[in-house]
Amino acid sequence: MARRIRKAKVVVVGSSNIDMLVKTQRLPKPGETVIGGRFMSVLGGKGANQAIAAARFGARIHFISNVGWDKFGDQVIKSFKNERIKPDFIYRDENHPTGVALILIDGKGKNMISVASGANAFLKPYHVEHAESAFANATVAVTQLETSLDVLACTARLAKKHGIPLILDPAPAPDEPIPAEILRDVTCIKPNELEAERLTGIKVTDTQSALKAAAHLLDQGVKVVIVTLGENGCLLATTQSRGKHIPALVVDAVDSTAAGDAFCGVLAYGIGAGHPLNDAVDFANIAAGVSVTRMGAQPSLPTFKECAAFVKGIREQ
């Protein structure tokens, strides 16, 4: 794994949650109770996860988010300080609680997630505009869909204004189309199979269908499309090269909760540090593979050294 070319300066706009996890042998069916689970409470939220994933690879982070004036919000602020990330643009909401995610995980690491957005739903464009200095000093911007489309539009506008690439993780899967004028300002979009289907109407079941979905998104003006395919790795497509399949690491998965966030955060590090796109995707793929071998969202996010050691261990087998 190559070292960075320049210091990655990543501005992340997005959610911050407290995750309540229960790991059981299998996921319950509707109306069923499954006994014998293991409980954990950890920090999460797609935006926060991606910010910390990039930070653990060595990026300098500005994180723009909204949390409540409650003990969970205090935990979020403390965690970012522990990661040596200044919480300058983490706003405190007096009227709404910090977001909470309820997560069920089965014995193979597959999950089901329900989120009470809380203060995340009240992150507004004016919060993002107030943090414009973060965009002015960044080398890449990242956002997701756990906040509003208005926030996404504002983020895209500021990234374009300051000439930095924008990575969009379209998660959770959108119920309505993302406006074409926003997609045109997205440099890189990273959907999983379900999200790609929601965005394009093309059911993604394998590499070939992922290729069709990626082509659809490229035709809408996105420059780079990465469709993540779980244990089957990912598909990378650009306006110059419309299809490269990258296999996933072969690992014993215990929890896939933050795999996509590890991927997206480390991808942002790679792009922000000036690495070639193929290398940035390789870094991201490795980080996602390592993350699924650990429980919890933020506790699972690996450092650069941990990923390098993991790859070295595989090569020596």
By residue range, what is the domain housing residue 121? Answer: 9-316
- Tens-digit pLDDT profile for the chain (317 aa)? 555 568 999 999 999 999 999 999 999 999 999 998 889 898 999 999 999 999 999 999 999 999 999 999 999 999 999 999 989 999 999 999 999 999 999 988 888 989 999 999 999 999 999 999 999 999 999 999 999 999 999 999 999 999 999 999 999 988 888 999 999 999 999 999 999 999 999 999 999 999 999 999 999 999 999 999 988 899 999 998 878 999 888 888 888 878 999 999 999 999 999 999 999 999 999 999 999 999 888 989 999 999 998 887 766 66
Give dist(CA 195, CA 227) in Å, integer. 9
Among candidates 236, 225, 134, 229, which has minimal Cα distance to 188?
225
Which residues, in sequence order, are CB contacts of 138 under 8 Å at separation 6+?
A: 9, 10, 11, 62, 162, 164, 272
As for how many domains the chain has, the answer is 1
**pLDDT at position 85:** 92
What is the length of the chain? Answer: 317
Which residues, in sequence order, are CB contacts of 298 under 8 Å at separation 6+?
A: 42, 43, 44, 48, 49, 52, 79, 258
Which residues, in sequence order, are CB contacts of 240 under 8 Å at separation 6+?
A: none
Among candidates 38, 23, 34, 22, which has minimal Cα distance to 107?
23
Phi and psi at 133, nearest 5°, equal -60, -30
209 lies in some domain = yes
Q: Is 32 helix (H, G, I), strand (E, B) or coil?
A: coil
Structure tokens at 72: 């969970």
CB 142 within 8 A of CB 155: no
2 lies in some domain = no
Q: Is the dihedral of CA 255, 303, 127, 217 positive or negative?
A: negative
**pLDDT at position 174:** 86
308 lies in some domain = yes
Give dist(CA 153, CA 144) in Å, integer. 11
**pLDDT at position 197:** 96
Which residues are known catalytic residues?
A: 261
CATH of the domain at 282: 3.40.1190.20
3 lies in some domain = no
Chain-centre distance for alpha carbon 163? 22
CB 256 within 8 A of CB 109: yes
Lookup result for tokens 């869909």: 145
Structure tokens at 45: 């939220």
96 lies in some domain = yes
Q: What is the DSSP string of 208-226?
A: HHHHHHHHHHHHTT-SEEE
Structure tokens at 120: 């995340």
**pLDDT at position 1:** 53
41 lies in some domain = yes
Lookup result for tokens 């911050």: 16
130 lies in some domain = yes
**pLDDT at position 83:** 93
199 lies in some domain = yes
Chain-centre distance for alpha carbon 291? 12
